[in-house]
Amino acid sequence: MEKWKPTYTFTHYTDITPAWCTEQKIKFILSDLDGTLAGWNEGPDETFINWYRSIEAVGVGLIIVSNNHQARIQPFTDACSLVGYAKCNKPSHKKIEREVIQRGLNTETALFLGDQLFTDVWCGQKLGMRTATVEPLGDYEPLRTSCKRWLEKVVKKTWRNEA
């Protein structure tokens, strides 16, 4: 069950502040999109843009790593001149490793952010990174994601029982 346990848990991505990133020596955040930075099929809003600018101001880069298609992530990459990778097939880490890690990203100063244990956290751990989860954003989720939420609750109960 440990392979799905995040290093950190937050309520919202904006809880990851510039000061926290500096304190934790975070230089890059690899982030899921849907449910993490925006609700399903919602575009970038002022909250996202302002948050990104605040972490960028202290030298933290953001890379979007999504299982969704390129047209979905494009509004976010365009709004803030970000790098983004679509169709990552998480929890597989192969594409992210090829596109980001092998090109020089230091996993010791990176954070993998997402809203799902079985895709985002597991992928980040396979990459050897610290991981963080947020509460899912938005009112809608695809059925496959909703089903995984039930399993996530079961896994999270085992962590409480370990304490």
Query: How far is the C-alpha of 106 from the C-alpha of 151, rounded, in Å?
Result: 32
**What is the pLDDT at residue 20?**
98
With a cut of 80, say whether residue 159 has pLDDT above it.
no
SS3 call for 9: strand
**What is the pLDDT at residue 161?**
58
Sequence-distant (6+) residues with CB within 8 A of 25 are: 108, 109
**What is the pLDDT at residue 55?**
98
Model pTM above 0.85? yes
Neighbours of 105 (CB within 10 A): 20
Q: What pLDDT, in 10s, does the model give residues 50-107?
A: 999 999 999 999 999 999 999 999 999 999 999 999 999 999 999 999 999 888 899 9
Q: What pLDDT, in 10s, does the model give residues 117-150?
A: 889 999 999 999 999 999 998 776 666 776 676 6
Neighbours of 36 (CB within 10 A): 23
* Entry field: residues in the chain: 163
Q: What pLDDT, in 10s, does the model give residues 12-65?
A: 999 999 999 999 999 999 999 999 999 988 999 999 999 999 999 999 999 999
Structural tokens at position 9? 């848990």
With a cut of 70, say whether residue 162 has pLDDT above it.
no
Domains and CATH numbers, the chain: 2-162 (3.40.50.1000)
